[in-house]
Amino acid sequence: MINIRKLLLPLGGPLVALLLVLLVWDLSVRFYHIPAYVLPSPQMTWQHTLSDWAVLWTGFQITFTTFLLGFVLGAGAGFVFAVVMDSATWARSILYPILIASQAVPVIAISAALTIWLGFGLAPKLVIVALVVFFPVVVNVLDGLHSVDPDMLSLARSMGGSRIKIFRHVKLPATYTPLFSALKLSATFSVTGAVIGEWTASTSGGLGAYLLQANSRLNTAGTFSAIGFLALLGIISFLLVIMLEYLVTPWRTSSKARPWSRHYWRRSA
> pLDDT tens per residue, the chain (269 residues)?
445 565 455 667 778 888 999 999 999 999 999 999 899 999 999 999 999 999 999 999 999 999 999 999 999 999 999 999 998 888 888 888 888 888 888 888 888 888 889 888 889 999 999 999 999 999 999 999 998 888 888 888 888 888 888 998 899 999 999 999 999 999 988 999 999 999 888 777 899 999 999 998 989 999 999 999 999 999 999 999 999 998 888 776 665 655 545 555 455 55
Distance CA 24, CA 39 (A): 13
Distance CA 24, CA 32 (A): 12
166 in a domain, yes or no?
yes
DSSP tally for the chain: helices H, then strands E: 13, 0
Counting the structural domains of the chain, the total is 1
- Reported as half-sphere exposure (CB side, CA atoms, 13 A), residue 136 has a value of 21
pLDDT reported for residue 113: 87
233 in a domain, yes or no?
yes
167 in a domain, yes or no?
yes
Distance CA 70, CA 92 (A): 24
38 in a domain, yes or no?
no
* Domain carrying residue 113: 76-248
58 in a domain, yes or no?
no
Task: Tell me which residue of 133, 146, 2, 3 sits closest to 68, measured CA to CA.
Answer: 133
168 in a domain, yes or no?
yes
Q: Over the range 237-258, which residues count as b (16 or more CB within 10 Å of their CB) and which as e? A: bbeebeeebeeeebeeeeeeee
67 in a domain, yes or no?
no
80 in a domain, yes or no?
yes
pLDDT reported for residue 82: 94
What CATH number corresponds to the domain at position 184? Answer: 1.10.3720.10
CB atoms under 10 Å from CB of 55, counted, come to 15
